[in-house]
Amino acid sequence: MKPIVFIDGQEGTTGLQIYERLDKRDDIELILINENKRKDTTERKKLINEANLVFLCLPDDAARESVTLIDNNETRVIDASVAHRTAPDWVYGFPEMSKKQRESIVNAKRTTNPGCHSTGAIALLAPLTEAGFLPRDYPIAITSLTGYTGGGKSKIAEYETSDREERNDLNSPRAYSLGAEHKHIPEITLYSGLAFKPSFIPVIADYPQGMQVIIPLHMPGKRREVYDILASHYAGCENIDVFDEAPAFSASNVNADTDRLTLVVSGSGDNVVLTSLFDNLGKGACGAAIQNMNLMLGFGEYEGLVLNR
């Protein structure tokens, strides 16, 4: 019998992408809510409790409300919002993060999908702290460039509006959350194994999809050791590549339209530069959600993922 899957919040950017992927699969039964009833709590509750697995693609408060609608012990959840990212009774949905993480997701009833910026930072930092190589109190600075689709429908509309010529500011990268309170900081800190919040500057740029997270480290003569730790940690991961030298130019959209994650260790002398490259809607959102669903429902981990352009 095929597992039943429901997307609560199918109309949003992530929900729509998940729907488009799942609609092509014949190994699940995807149930849909009537357009006229998508805000009907009674109808949503009915479908949520019919499903073996529910994706929550909703604002944070709405995601918390959806969880309260579950009245059985069988329905499993993948929450794409920030609501449960650091909750101790939820499993963080980054299977490559540590040796035990994949098994935890396989057995999880409640999985929280990582944030896009967080994915790039944690992928670079967690193996180094886990290995005891990077001190937990190391002062971390992170710059993260993202395509505008990461901002959801409102940002897509802003960047793709017909009167773009009146908004010269949209033509150049724009740093934001300069008050150092970005919503991804808590999960970056927790799952990277850091003792203190990193300095984090996100930047939105004028291209639709793609992300580049950059972390410089002052570690004289340690570049090769950093590469060896990351390469060893991700050995066997079909969706992750680790390289020990950056190209002359690093394009943030190099992995757009795929679910790949590329990690690069570069730098020279005293300085090591860590870079992660992926699609903010792929490994940074719906691709990660599909990967977690595959693990939770017993499918092949990479089923339905786009690993090559």
Handedness of CA 24, 26, 28, 32 (dihedral sign): positive
Specify the 3-state DSSP secondary structure of 218: strand
Tokens 């300095």 sit at which residue? 199
Neighbours of 156 (CB within 10 A): 16
Distance CA(89)–CA(86), nearest Å, equals 9
Residue type, 225: E
Distance CA(127)–CA(51), nearest Å, equals 35
8 Å CB contact between 219 and 265: no
Which residues are catalytically annotated?
A: 116
Beta bridge partners of 56: 8, 79
| 137 token code pair | 């109190």
Phi-psi region of 230 (alpha: psi -120 to 50; beta: other; left: phi over 0): alpha
8 Å CB contact between 116 and 181: no
Task: Please spell the DSSP secondary structure of 272-306, one letter per residue.
Answer: EEEEEEE-TTIIIIIHHHHHHHHHHHTS-TTTT--
8 Å CB contact between 280 and 209: yes
8 Å CB contact between 119 and 179: no
Distance CA(204)–CA(213), nearest Å, equals 12
